[in-house]
Amino acid sequence: MAAGGAVKIENSRSMQLDTPIKYLQGVGPDRAELFESRGIATIEDLLYYMPLRYENRSNFKPVSELAPGETATVVGTVTATQLYRLGRSGMQIFEVRLKDREEQSVVCKWFRSAYLQSRFEQGQTVAAYGRIDYDKYSRQLSVLHPEFEILRRDDPESKLHLGRIVPIYKTFGKVTTRMLRGMMHRALAAVPDDDPIPESIRRRLGLPQRQAALQETHFPPADTDMRLLEARRTPGQFRLIFEEFFFLECGLALKRAKSRAAAGIAFELNDRAREKIKRILPFKPTGAQKRVLGEIAADMAAPTPMSRLLQGDVGSGKTIVAIEAAVIALENNYQVALMAPTEILATQHFLSVKKLLEPAGYVVAGLTGSRSAREKQKIKRLIGEGIAHVVVGTHAVISEDVEFKRLGLVVIDEQHRFGVLQRLELLRKGAHPDVLVMTATPIPRTLSLTFYGELDVSIIDELPPGRSPIVTRRGNIAQAAKVYDFVRKQVLAGRQAYIVYPLIDESETKTVKAAQKQFEHLSKDVFPELKLDLLHGRLPTGSKDEAMERFRLGETQILVSTTVVEVGVDVPNATVMVIEHAESFGLSQLHQLRGRVGRGAHRSYCILMTEKPTETARERIGTMTETQDGFRIAEADLQLRGPGEFFGTKQSGLPSFRVANLLRDRETLEAARNEAAAYVENPPSVEALAELVNYVRDKWQRRYGLIQVG
């Protein structure tokens, strides 16, 4: 292409899918920038910019058949326009009167939109879309704030906008839906009739060709079922959604295949290890715990590196499973690293691992930020010399610069789902230890398979025996005195309680202050006879550990805290969780917090205190009182927040989809995943697989940040 100014390509056949958008007629360099800012850099990007909705203008009703209350498209000729002020309020109203073929009129009205005046003139043909109202005063039909399009008779593309089902796009800048329609029409000419989806799959699933799918998605044929169209379930739409998932899943499958091909450690699971595991277990494992340990052990025995996700609701007993896996590695003379997301959790894991593994003859080292530089040096030396067998610490500390003598297994307690994969890459740089990631985010299986990319998934779907449901109640702030009385009763019966405060105004400083103030109030005025402690993120690490330790030992009875107790803390004697300002917590967070109680034999309680909850906050709290099933709660959370926010797409590395929607299209995702896995595992030919690898690398790697596919 010529350097410098844009060359308009009039002959659309010379346009390719990867032709920059500026060469499309009607775009040009200035507008191209605007398109690029919306992620539309090429013709292909444009074509995958999907309609927001559709309007059936193929047989729109005449005005005489419109009923007030319905939402409809009216097409007519402008007979008059008028700008005036409304009575006392002086509000500006702009009106356009449209007359249809039958000489019947309807009035379009816009408030505070004087600028529209310059857009309309008599004689224009206009399509207006909105809710039809009957105006009592003027006794005529009107449409308030309709979306509109001015249709031009001399437009060679006029048939795109009228007399058919038309796509409506989300507009941006000065780009109108009408302009987009024209561009789509022109861009469609660039689609070659080949198809990136392997033919065998396309044929078996009855998917239309790419070209046909794009064509009918942007310009549906007249007989298309509008309901299917709106549900994104026409064959063409389905195919495009499938395509997006399919190549993502191919990328993931290729990554898995690659990591499986790497050389790992084949651990031996012999009787000695089995005997040892049995001896250290403080209780009888549940069926689910046994099953997942079996899955993990099989991975460990295989000569390729394990990448497994252990998913289980809060309190389902993941820690002990990790310790069992550790014993397998240890009995094979390898070292184990266990990483936790917070200091508190690292310390807790350190203590429980030590309690179980030290009597069995292993050396357990704790490596957290609270250690002095000299202590850290010493511990790192012990690790490097292979004297320390198990190292427990925070993510940051362990991934820093610790050199292991013979690292065989890494366990990552990933309560916060972010950045697992990155860390995994980091760890895998040199040797290839087995990796087990633990998460308490119970997301639906298909989603977790995609969300966690190339990890295999094991699920603990059973709680240890003897747990009674946590009694969950909501309370108004006005009932605080009653709630505190209840807390006192529990404490006097020998139990312990948490009282938790949310992050206020997004500011930790304010939160800490509020928690501090409340702590003083509670210790002086409410519970003067009891022992309370305060725990928040600003305390020095040592003090945090000490506060946690005092609570664990039962020296303090009530722990007043900000959300630092959210993750993994395990004090079975604690039976009351009071959450103040529960309206400002998300569902998953509430579920995590509630999971801090109900860990022992005593009946436990969770009290959600609110002050002026919003409608959605009420819904969240309602969900909490109705169920304790983490999967159902995650599901509700996903529905309430939408996938983007739920997964925290940006931090998580989960791709944002342009055609598909994780919630709406979950079944399609599952189908695409199965097809992709089968194809990668069993390609029709070496060439076909190479072609797929190339396609994924060229087209999808950049989008989805799939590092090193193939």
Considering only CA atoms, which of 386, 43, 369, 336 is closest in space to residue 218? Answer: 43
Rounded (5°) CA angle 360-365-366: 130
Strands (E), 296-342: 307-312, 335-340
Query: Which CB, 224 or 347, lies closer to ligand ADP?
Result: 347
Give the interface segment with ligand ADP, choosing from 1-9, 313-321, 553-561, 698-706 (CB under 6 A): 313-321
* Shortest separation between residue 460's beta carbon and ligand ADP, angstroms: 7
Contact in structure between 58 and 165 (CB atoms under 8 Å): yes
Residue 572 binding partner per list ligand ADP, Mg ion, none, with a CB distance cut-off of 5 to 8 Å that depends on partner kind: ligand ADP
Closer by beta carbon to ligand ADP, 264 or else 366 = 366
Residue (of 411, 358, 412) closest to 388 by Cα position: 358
| Binding flag, residue 256, ligand ADP (CB under 6 A) | no
CB of 67 to ligand ADP, least distance (A): 57
Taking the CB of residue 118, how many other CB atoms lie within 10 A of it? 7
Quote the DSSP letter at residue 315.
T
- For position 167 contacting Mg ion by CB under 5 A, the verdict is no
Choosing from 566, 570, 665, 675, the residue that interacts with ligand ADP (CB under 6 A) is 570
Q: What is the dihedral of CA 8, 11, 13, 18, to 10 degrees?
A: 0
The answer to whether 146 contacts Mg ion (rule: CB under 5 A) is no
Nearer to Mg ion, 235 or 464 (CB): 464
Residue 76 interacting partner from ligand ADP, Mg ion, none (CB closer than 5 to 8 Å by kind): none
Cα distance between residue 629 and residue 450, in whole Å = 22
- Residue 315 interacts with, from Mg ion, ligand ADP, none (CB under 5-8 Å by kind): ligand ADP
- Residue 169 is classified by DSSP as -
Confirm if 408 and 267 have CB atoms less than 8 A apart. yes
Of the pair 202, 318, the CB lying nearest ligand ADP is at 318
Q: Which of 43, 46, 63, 320 binds ligand ADP (CB under 6 A)?
A: 320
464 binds ligand ADP (CB under 6 A): yes
Q: Is 326 in the site for ligand ADP (CB under 6 A)?
A: no
311 binds, among Mg ion, ligand ADP, none (CB under 5 to 8 A by kind): none
Q: What residues form DSSP beta bridges with 74? A: 128
Through-space distance between the first and last CA atoms of the chain, rounded to whole angstroms:
32
Q: Which does 329 bind (CB under 5 to 8 A by kind): Mg ion, ligand ADP, none?
A: none
| 475/568 with CB nearer ligand ADP | 568
Helices 343-357/541-552 angle, 10° precision: 50
Cα separation, 272 vs 255, whole angstroms = 35
Residues 572-601 that bind ligand ADP (CB under 6 A): 572, 599
Q: Which is nearer to ligand ADP, 160 or 564 (CB)?
A: 564
Residue nearest to Mg ion (CB): 568
Q: Closest distance between ligand ADP and the C-beta of residue 310, in Å?
A: 9
DSSP 8-state assignment for residue 413: E
* 545 touches, from ligand ADP, Mg ion, none (C-beta below 5 to 8 Å by class): none
Say which entry of ligand ADP, Mg ion, none residue 464 contacts (CB below 5 to 8 A, set by partner kind). Answer: ligand ADP
- 568 part of the interface to Mg ion, by CB under 5 A: yes
Chain centre to alpha carbon of residue 35? 26
Q: Determine the length of the chain.
A: 710
Tell me how crowded residue 592 is: count the other CB atoms within 10 A of its CB: 23
643 lies in the site for Mg ion, by CB under 5 A: no
111 is in the binding site of which of ligand ADP, Mg ion, none (Cβ under 5 to 8 A by kind)?
none
Q: What share of the chain is helix, strand, coil (3-state, %, to 5)?
A: 45, 20, 35
CB-nearer residue toward ligand ADP: 13 or 284: 284
Q: Which stretch binds Mg ion (CB under 5 A): 225-233, 326-334, 361-369, 560-568?
A: 560-568
Map the footprint of ligand ADP across residues 433-452, applying CB under 6 A.
Answer: 440
344 versus 407: smaller Cβ distance to Mg ion: 344
CB of 297 to ligand ADP, least distance (A): 17
Residue 14: count of CB within 10 angstroms of its CB: 11
Binding pattern to ligand ADP, positions 180-219, x when CB under 6 A? Answer: ----------------------------------------
- Integer Cα distance of 542 and 587 in angstroms: 30
Stretch that binds ligand ADP, among 179-187, 309-317, 355-363, 660-668 (CB under 6 A): 309-317
Are the CB atoms for 138 and 107 separated by under 8 Å?
A: yes
**Closest distance of CB 440 from ligand ADP, Å:** 6
Please name which of 342, 267, 323 lies closest in space to residue 548, comparing C-alpha atoms. 342
How many residues form the binding site for ligand ADP (CB under 6 A)? 19
Residue 474 in tokens: 């909501």
Chain residues 260-299 in contact with ligand ADP, contact rule CB under 6 A = 283-286, 289
Nearer to ligand ADP, 286 or 628 (CB): 286
Closer CB to ligand ADP, 281 or 677, in the complex: 281
User: Is the distance from CB of 181 to CB of 167 less than 8 angstroms?
Assistant: yes
Distance, CA of 328 to CA of 330 (rounded, Å): 5
Map tokens 């999971």 to a residue: 595
Q: Verify binding: residue 316, ligand ADP, rule CB under 6 A.
A: yes
Residue nearest ligand ADP, Cβ-based: 317
Least CB distance to ligand ADP at residue 257 (A): 31
* Partner from ligand ADP, Mg ion, none contacting 537, C-beta within 5 to 8 A by type: none
Cβ distance 217 to 42 under 8 Å? no
**Quick one: which of 51, 130, 146, 317 contacts ligand ADP (CB under 6 A)?**
317
Query: What region does 338 belong to: left with phi over 0, alpha with psi -120 to 50, or beta?
Result: beta
Closer to ligand ADP at the Cβ: 449 or 460? 460
Spatial distance between the Cα atoms of 559 and 543, rounded to a whole number of angstroms = 13
Our finding on whether 314 is near ligand ADP (CB under 6 A) is yes
User: For strand 91-99 and strand 71-86, is the pairing parallel, antiparallel, or unpaired?
Assistant: antiparallel
Closest CA to 694 of 203, 251, 209: 251
Alpha-carbon distance 533 to 555, whole Å? 10
Per CB under 6 A, which region of 61-69, 180-188, 261-269, 316-324 contacts ligand ADP? 316-324
**Smallest gap from residue 318 Cβ to Mg ion (A):** 5
Binding ligand ADP (rule: CB under 6 A), the pick from 312, 366, 433, 453 is 312
Should residue 554 be labelled a site residue for ligand ADP when binding is judged by CB under 6 A? no
For ligand ADP, the closer CB: 134 or 283: 283
Looking at the DSSP bridge assignments, the partners of residue 560 are 499, 534
Query: Considering only CA atoms, which of 97, 87, 85 is closest in space to residue 143?
Result: 97
- CA-derived radius of gyration, the chain: 31
DSSP bridge partners of 85: 92
Which residues contact ligand ADP by CB under 6 A?
A: 283-286, 289, 312, 314-320, 440, 464, 568, 570, 572, 599
Residues within the interface to Mg ion (CB under 5 A):
568
